[in-house]
Amino acid sequence: MPLTIENIKTLTEWLGVEGAAAGLSKSNISISELRDLLATQGFKAPKNIKKIELITELLFGSVKRVEKPLDDLLKMEFDELLRYFRVVRPSRKELLALLSELDFHPGSEDQKSLYKYAARQIVETGMFKRVAKKTSF
């Protein structure tokens, strides 16, 4: 049975990223199979990439939890967005990447409560964009 992206997602949910990485690195899955899986995700791996690097790229690509487009997130209210984050449970890395798209770089204090910080910044940015759109000529 060939390994699929859905299998990778399930494995990651069960074992976490570190457990899934350990399992895949000890498995008999070939580098060629990993390359093929990554290709289905739009990632072209360099020729000399190591198996563990392919696995890491595959795992982090498959655990993306925020599925709504940024424009939809910008339209949400604070409580609604915070609830969404608590349900989908995005990783720290994913939230930081999302904030980086909006040119926000939280300091260490803000990272302690990253869900709230991200929700607040996204909601405020959305509000400013809506106000700017209404006042533009």
pTM of the complete model = 0.56
End-to-end CA distance of the chain: 59
Instruction: Band the pLDDT of 61: cuts 50, 70, 90.
Output: low
Token representation of residue 125: 């940015």
Instruction: Band the pLDDT of 87: cuts 50, 70, 90.
Output: confident
The residue type at 7: N
**3-7, 19-23, 28-32, 132-136: least confident range:** 132-136
Give dist(CA 35, CA 55) in Å, integer.
9
* Domain extent listing, the chain: 5-62, 70-135
